[in-house]
Amino acid sequence: ALAWETSLPEGSVTTWDQCKRAFLAKFFPTSRTAKLRNEISGFTQLNSETFSEAYERFKGYQMQCPHHGFSKENLLSTLYRGVLPKYRMLLDTASNGYFMGQDVDDGLLLVENIATSDGNYNEEYDRSDRGSPL
């Protein structure tokens, strides 16, 4: 990006908006942007993924396309629709019944908290097989 910026003709970019448009045109062709926007809007959690892994992948799509244009409300709705049913139920339960009815910032905070908690859980530790008491 630095080489591109220094190669621009002097005076060709005089505002931040012009710089942004020129940068996106150079590094994010329409086809790439469309593909990345489709990854975001079509997000679906894989059966083998934890909530934390799925959320990290979803955030990764957004970072790859910072100009995606989706609102926070739309992103939260897309995430909610795309996670496995057991996680939708968890989000609803933690939101007193209806996750999508709460404030967007509260919803994002809840998602972050659940992802952090889920990521900290060690699946190798299973309390169900504790053996016989001493």
pTM over 0.85: no
DSSP assignment string, 102-132: S-HHHHHHHHHHHHHHHHH--TT--TT----
* Helix extents (H) in 8-103: 16-27, 30-41, 51-64, 72-82, 85-94
Residues of the domain holding 87:
16-120
Please check the confidence at residue 35 and state whether its pLDDT lies above 80.
Answer: yes
Would 20 be classed as within a structural domain? yes
Cα–Cα distance, 55 to 61 (Å, whole number): 10
Tell me, yes or no, whether 90 lies in a domain: yes
Question: Sorting pLDDT into bands at 50, 70 and 90, what band is 134?
Answer: low
Does 68 fall in a domain? yes
* Structural domains in the chain (count): 1
